[in-house]
Amino acid sequence: MLMILLPILIRLYKNLTHALVRLLLLSVTVVLMLPATAQAQTELLTAKSAKFTGERPNADGPPTDVHLGLFLIDVDLVEDAAQRFNADLFLNVTWQDPRLALPKRQRKGLIRTVPLSDIWWPRGFILNERGVARKLQPTAEVDDDGNVRHQQRVIGPLAVDLDFKDFPFDEQVLPIVLVTYANSIKDVRFLYGPETSGGSEKFSIEGWQLSLLEPVIAEFDMPGHAHARPSITFRVAAERVTRYYLLTLVFPMAMIILMAWSVFWLQPDIIPPRISVATASIFSFMAFGFSVRAKLPEVSYLTRADLFVTGCTFLVFLALAVTVAGSRLANSDRMDKALRINAISRWLYILLFVVVVYLSFLY
Asked if residue 354 has pLDDT above 50, the reply is: yes
- Of 219, 241, 263, at which residue does a domain stop? 241
Domain assignment of residue 1, yes or no: no
> What SS3 class is residue 248?
helix
pLDDT of residue 40: 45
Question: How many domains is the chain partitioned into structurally?
Answer: 3
Domain assignment of residue 346, yes or no: yes
> What SS3 class is residue 259?
helix
Domain assignment of residue 270, yes or no: yes
- Which CATH number is 357's domain given? 1.20.58.390
Domain assignment of residue 5, yes or no: no
Q: What are the pLDDT digits (tens) for 14-63?
A: 555 555 545 554 444 434 444 444 444 444 444 444 455 678 998 889 99
Which domain, by its residues, includes 273?
Answer: 244-362
pLDDT of residue 24: 54
Mean pLDDT of 96-121: 93
Domain assignment of residue 80, yes or no: yes
Judge residue 155's burial from the number of C-beta atoms within 10 Å of its C-beta, 0-12 exposed, 13-18 middle, 19 or more buried: middle
Which string of b and e fits 177-192 if b means at least 16 CB within 10 Å?
A: bbbbeebbbebbbbeb
Residues 45 and 90 in one domain: no
Residues 227 and 293 in one domain: no
Among candidates 259, 281, 276, 286, which has minimal Cα distance to 327?
Answer: 276
Residues 219 and 92 in one domain: yes
Residues 232 and 261 in one domain: no
Backbone angles phi, psi at 324, to 5 degrees: -65, -45
Residues 224 and 334 in one domain: no
pLDDT of residue 36: 42
**Cα 117 vs. chain centroid, distance in angstroms?**
28
CA atoms within 13 A on the CB side of 40: 7
Domain assignment of residue 3, yes or no: no
Residues 181 and 330 in one domain: no
Among candidates 194, 186, 195, 175, which has minimal Cα distance to 230?
Answer: 186
Residues 248 and 331 in one domain: yes
Q: What is the largest CA-CA distance in the chain?
A: 152
Domain assignment of residue 57, yes or no: no
Q: Give the H/E segment covering residue 133.
A: strand 133-134
**pLDDT-based confidence at residue 272 (cuts at 50, 70, 90):** confident
pTM of the model: 0.78
Q: What are the pLDDT digits (tens) for 280-304?
A: 888 887 777 677 667 777 888 889 9
- Which CATH number is 120's domain given? 2.70.170.10
Residues 79 and 208 in one domain: yes
pLDDT of residue 30: 39
pLDDT of residue 96: 96
Q: What are the pLDDT digits (tens) for 116-138?
A: 999 999 999 999 999 999 999 99
Q: What are the pLDDT digits (tens) for 164-183?
A: 999 989 999 999 999 998 89
Residues 211 and 287 in one domain: no
Question: In angstroms, rounded to a whole number, what is the distance separating the alpha carbons of residues 358 and 363?
Answer: 6
DSSP string computed for 286-321: HHHHHHHHTTS---SS--HHHHHHHHHHHHHHHHHH
- How high is the mean pLDDT of the chain? 85
Residues 202 and 180 in one domain: yes
Domain assignment of residue 138, yes or no: yes
The count of residues in the chain is 363
- Of 217, 241, 265, at which residue does a domain stop? 241
- Of 189, 209, 241, at which residue does a domain stop? 241
Residues 91 and 230 in one domain: yes
Residues 302 and 204 in one domain: no
Question: In angstroms, rounded to a whole number, what is the distance separating the alpha carbons of residues 290 and 288?
Answer: 6
